[in-house]
C-alpha cells in the first residue's frame, strides 16, 4: 500500500480531477456566494455613474486562454451598464480579445436593447500598449478616428464629447496579464486620476492589493469567485455562479492531495532522502 501511494501514476490523479469537475457540474446544490467589499466597490461605482448617466471605458485585455474567468465578468459588467443606461466604450490591448468581446456585446446588447453608437461603441484592438494609453489620454478622437466598424467617433453619440481619458467617469480593465498595473496605472491613471477598477484572472489578483490600498484602484474582481460575486450583485447567475460548485469541490480535492502528499512525505519519503 505504501509504495502504491508514493509513486501513484499521474494519470490516476488526472481521472480523479476530471470526475471532481464533471460530477458537481451535473448536479446543483446551493452554495452561499457573499460579495466582498472589493467587488461591491465596482458595482457601487457603476451605480454612481448611472446616476449621472455617464460613460464608462472598458479595456478588454485577455485571450481565450482566460475566457472562463474573464468572460463572465465582461458579460456581467456589460449587463449592469446596459440595464442602467450607462454608456460603454470598449477597447482591447490584447489582439485575441476582439472576437470574445464582439460576442459578449452582441448577446448583452440584444438582452437590453442597447443601440450601437448611442449606448455603446467598440473600438477593437490597437498596438502600442503604453503609447496607446498616452495617445488616447490626451487626444482620444485623434487616436481612434474610427471605431472597429469604420464609423467616425466624432459622429457617434457615445464618443462625441470624449476628448481624453479624463472625460470618462469610470475606467474598468478586465485583464489576464499585467496591463492594469503595467500600463493603465503608470501611463493613464497616474496623470488623469480617473476612477479605475479591474477584473483579473486569479493568477494576477494577489499582485493588485498594493494598488487597492493606495487608492490607485478602487475595486477588484479576482478570478471566477470575483465573477460569481458580481453575477450575484446584478442577480443574473451565469457560468461563474455555476462554476463555483465544481470549483469548491476541486479546491477541497487539491487541498486533500497536498495534505495527503505531505503526510506520506513526512512518514515515508523523507527517510529515502529524496531531497535534503
- The dihedral sign for the CA sequence 140, 47, 187, 130: negative
Closest CB 172 distance from other proteins, rounded Å: 18
Burial (CB count within 10 angstroms: exposed 0-12, middle 13-18, buried 19+), residue 164:
middle
- As a whole number of angstroms, the distance between CA 122 and CA 120 comes to 7
Closest CB 167 distance from other proteins, rounded Å: 14
- As a whole number of angstroms, the distance between CA 196 and CA 212 comes to 10
CB nearer other proteins, residue 53 or residue 149:
149
CB nearer other proteins, residue 50 or residue 143:
143
Closest CB 24 distance from other proteins, rounded Å: 9
CB burial of 40-77 (b: ≥16 within 10 Å; e: otherwise) equals ebbbebbeebbeeeebbbbbbbbbeebbebbbbbbbbb
Closest CB 210 distance from other proteins, rounded Å: 4
Amino acid at each position: 500500500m505504501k509504495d502504491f501511494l508514493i509513486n501513484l501514476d499521474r494519470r490516476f490523479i488526472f481521472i480523479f480531477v476530471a470526475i471532481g469537475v464533471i460530477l458537481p457540474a451535473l448536479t446543483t446544490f446551493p452554495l452561499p456566494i457573499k460579495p466582498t467589499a472589493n467587488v461591491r466597490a465596482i458595482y457601487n461605482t457603476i451605480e454612481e455613474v448611472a446616476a449621472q448617466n455617464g460613460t464608462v471605458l472598458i479595456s478588454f485585455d485577455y485571450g481565450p486562454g482566460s475566457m472562463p474567468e474573464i468572460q463572465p465578468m465582461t458579460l456581467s459588467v456589460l449587463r449592469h451598464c446596459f440595464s442602467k443606461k450607462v454608456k460603454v466604450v470598449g477597447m482591447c490591448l490584447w489582439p485575441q480579445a476582439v472576437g470574445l468581446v464582439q460576442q459578449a456585446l452582441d448577446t448583452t446588447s440584444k438582452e437590453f436593447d442597447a443601440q450601437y453608437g448611442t449606448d455603446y461603441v467598440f473600438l477593437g484592438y490597437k498596438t502600442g500598449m503604453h503609447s496607446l494609453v498616452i495617445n488616447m489620454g490626451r487626444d482620444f478622437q485623434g487616436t481612434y478616428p474610427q471605431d472597429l466598424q469604420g464609423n467616425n467617433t466624432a459622429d457617434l453619440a457615445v464618443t462625441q464629447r470624449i476628448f481624453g481619458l479624463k472625460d470618462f467617469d469610470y475606467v474598468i480593465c478586465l485583464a489576464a496579464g499585467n496591463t492594469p498595473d503595467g500600463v493603465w496605472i503608470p501611463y493613464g491613471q497616474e496623470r488623469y486620476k480617473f476612477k479605475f477598477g479591474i477584473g483579473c484572472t486569479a493568477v494576477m489578483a494577489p499582485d493588485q492589493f498594493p494598488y487597492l490600498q493606495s487608492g490607485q484602484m478602487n475595486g477588484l474582481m479576482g478570478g471566477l469567485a470575483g465573477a460569481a460575486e458580481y453575477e450575484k450583485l446584478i442577480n443574473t447567475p451565469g457560468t461563474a455562479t455555476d462554476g463555483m460548485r465544481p470549483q469548491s469541490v476541486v479546491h477541497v480535492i487539491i487541498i486533500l492531495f497536498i495534505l495527503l502528499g505531505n503526510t506520506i512525505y513526512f512518514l515515508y519519503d523523507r527517510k529515502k532522502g529524496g531531497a535534503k
